[in-house]
Structure 1
């Protein structure tokens, strides 16, 4: 069940944003991924979870979607409205400060998630945790390799930049959205900690493995 929840989690944006800046292959696919990933997280992911875990979810589907919209769509809508006001000029003039604030907020979300995990426990035994780390590493590297080969193949016919962007967009999972998603859907469930464990573990694994992969891909791109 834990791995199924991990697989249905939405895509990560910030991790591959950092790496694609590093690779100099940032393009429109990344922005599309952010929008579609969040929309799928609000509608598609809850529908899949209701299908596979219907008996374990007490929250009605409509209430679930409304809660997620309140957490995700409302802030985005407010931001879009503010762009049409003088607040946009204030943001542009203080862009570096807002960028730093955004990074601190993300770090705070991650820090809070890990603190909760260590104080309340992950809901799994130590041996199971080690097995999960190995399994997630294998799944992440395997999916990355398969997707990279697919997007580089003649079947898809992507450019090198698009292939790299598409691979990172489709192989990375998000902690910042994933944990609130699981907490909202499985609120009050005694297995909530165990359900969150794969999302917690994959966060540092993606950072480590993704950075190593980025170095390798950068070398290949420069040699090509």
Structure 2
């Protein structure tokens, strides 16, 4: 029963699939799509305000001193992932096509997750303080690094002109500014948030579901499912699975080679092997204006679900081990 529970899709995964199905049959379009996008933008800004309010300043101070830990996680997130994604181009480009490969590469350029990295580290009895600091720092710095990487390796080589400075400003206003305001107002906001954890979680997930529905609606209107076959979709799932396996093997063995202790190894593993859907989809909306957005975000959606299921199983197993194992 426990194994079946671990392998089962969680509610959020099912809701993500439901949004894709809903957008496939009932896409929002025209003036309704414009209004929906405005509401979604406001929801995302509130979401990152809440993220800022959740983050403990004590955890930041405690975790930020562990600089070797953060350097390795940063290297995985913004060096190892992109390098492997670029090296895989001769295989992935003919297999997936240009737009899906762009989406796959965009996924490699994204920062790590925050909530799931911390949650899995906690379950597996790892260094939670460093995980909090590293995952949060990854998301903040990613708001600047991801647009630059996209500019150089994706849109810089396309026919469309792309200004990373403008995108960084938009991402800063939409994601970073609300996050900073959340930190500033944390003493006032956080006590109320902990009283309604289910409401906060529902808003968190609901915001992402709105973005996914809007993105796929635009893609369906533009003919997404005429361009992506079931065979291509299965190949994308296979590519994400193989890629995650390679990353996880590296994230498991390299911290041991560098002499990190058991708790640090666990935290590095979970922080280094994941990519964020929460920040990724809003960034894609800003960075890929005029591009096939549904195909761009499809790889990160699939990778996100695979990483959650695999990390859930691993975290549960490690939680039952002795610290010295």
| Same fold flag (TM > 0.5) | yes
- Residue 140 of structure 1: SS of its match in structure 2? helix
* Residue number among 27, 31, 40 corresponding to 2:128 in the alignment: 27
Distance in 1 separating the partners of 2:111 and 2:184: 25
Alignment-derived partner of residue 96 in structure 1: 194
- Residue 97 of structure 1: SS of its match in structure 2? coil
Q: Does 1:126 align with 2:230?
A: yes
Describe the shift of the 1:141–1:58 C-alpha distance in structure 2 as closer, same or farther (beyond 3 A). Answer: same
**TM-score by structure 1 length?**
0.86
Describe the shift of the 1:59–1:220 C-alpha distance in structure 2 as closer, same or farther (beyond 3 A). Answer: same
Aligned residue runs from structure 1 range 51-200, under 5 A: 51-53=152-154, 54-56=156-158, 58-83=161-186, 88-89=187-188, 91-92=190-191, 94-116=192-214, 119=217, 120=220, 121=224, 124-153=228-257, 156-189=258-291, 191-200=292-301
Q: For structure 1, which segment, 171-180 or 195-204, has the greater mean C-alpha deviation from structure 2 after superposition?
A: 195-204
* Residue number among 38, 54, 64 corresponding to 2:139 in the alignment: 38
Q: Is the contact made by 2:251 and 2:269 (CA closer than 8 Å) also made in structure 1?
A: yes
Distance in 1 separating the partners of 2:278 and 2:128: 22
Distance in 1 separating the partners of 2:234 and 2:212: 17
**TM-score by structure 2 length?**
0.61
- Residue 200 of structure 1: SS of its match in structure 2? helix
Aligned residues: 216
Q: RMSD of aligned C-alpha atoms? A: 2.2
- Residue 108 of structure 1: SS of its match in structure 2? helix
Gaps of 5+ in 1: none
Q: Could you list the per-position Cα deviations for residues 120-175 of structure 1 after superposition, in whole angstroms to 9, with x for gaps in the alignment?
A: 3465221111011011012112211221111122xx11111111101110110110
Q: For structure 1, which segment, 143-152 or 27-36, has the greater mean C-alpha deviation from structure 2 after superposition?
A: 27-36
- Residue 20 of structure 1: SS of its match in structure 2? helix
Q: Is the contact made by 1:110 and 1:176 (CA closer than 8 Å) also made in structure 2?
A: yes
**More relative contact order, 1 or 2 (CA 8 Å, 6+ apart):** 1
Describe the shift of the 1:59–1:166 C-alpha distance in structure 2 as closer, same or farther (beyond 3 A). Answer: same
